[in-house]
Structure 1
Amino acid sequence: MDDLAALARAARDLLPQGHGLGVTDPRAAHPAFPGETVAGVAKRQSEFRAGRHAARAALAELGLPDRPIPAGADRAPIWPLGLIGSISHSDRLCLAAVGRGRGIGVDLEPAEPLEPQIHRMILSPEDRGSEGAVISGLETRLIFSAKEAAYKAQYPLSRQLFDFQTLAVTVQGDRFEARFRRDIAPFTPQSVLQGRWAQVAGHFLCVVAL
């Protein structure tokens, strides 16, 4: 099984029923789609087109036609009315999920340790547990990915930017919880988002659905 097929299989296991899924290789050539533009260097444009190609594949699974998915002023995708979606990519894998729920967040990260100098930025005190355990770089990468997925899932409701310290993540087996540590309306401290994760094709894949 190649990496894209493995990613698709893992994502389907994590996503709730009723969501469309698309996977692409951001290194491949994906033609620009009318009505979509993004500024930036060639690599950024290639990643953008790959993400939108995956998103249209996800829409097709829901029986919807090709259409532009432009970026809003906040750079978030503008999805067709009644739908919500999420896109994530690494240097060699890209996926998009689209559904009709309140929010969906997917995040794909290389399963490699994060540099020690940025652990403090990512980890809240609660992420380390009640005994302040030392968290490895690989564990920090997984927590980073879980927080990214949770942030993407809640953003359509809050429309607020916030830092990694706003969420505390607890991982148990193939599931995790992301708890708010302060008010981010409509979420309050102690509001909890439920997520699932898998390790596939050398990556961590995290999914949060609301």
Structure 2
Amino acid sequence: MNFSSWPALLVVDVEGNGANPPDLVEVAALPLRDGRPDTSTAGAWLTKPRRPVTPFAAGVHGLTNQVLDGQPGWEEIADAVHALLGTAWIAAHNAHVDYRVLSAHLPKWQPAGVIDTLRLAKATYPELSKYSLDDLIAHVQPDLTQAPAQRHRATFDAFAAAQLLLAMARHYDTWDQLVAAAVPPGLPGAPKPVEDPTLW
């Protein structure tokens, strides 16, 4: 895989307050450049949700209402998040979720495409029985020594997903092959189905 041929891409992860639909409490966006995470230009934001964080959500990511008290509201950071994302491709684990939540919070944002590392993992490692981020970390064993924070925080999960994406990409010869395996139908960047020339 020639990583220099990749378009602009950021690995993203979001954490929510546990409500449905969720309010965001943390967003991370980590650019990939030449086959490496570029932490020097990454973005990470904490934001105080409009509705309180549920005890279950706080138990997962550790971002309690007390931790988030005094953090900016979403409207204060939305422009900065949108500016970093731009029109680049994004990648995320179970990307439907991150794409849907970010789109709801950034109605004018439209990425060039959406890579789902969960879908890619199922294509790359069909022998596995489970495909959670933890299961894939255990299988691939990427180097996470430079990962910030801890598991279930957006910065850590984005870094882990980035390392998994880079490891899986080495199983594909071209960007187009990767896209064919990794972009869910109906999301931006999905390959268009080949039309049957025999049909009227």
Q: TM-score, normalised by structure 1?
A: 0.26
Larger strand percent: 1
Larger helix percent: 2
Q: TM-score, normalised by structure 2?
A: 0.27
Higher RCO (Cα < 8 Å, 6 or more apart): 2
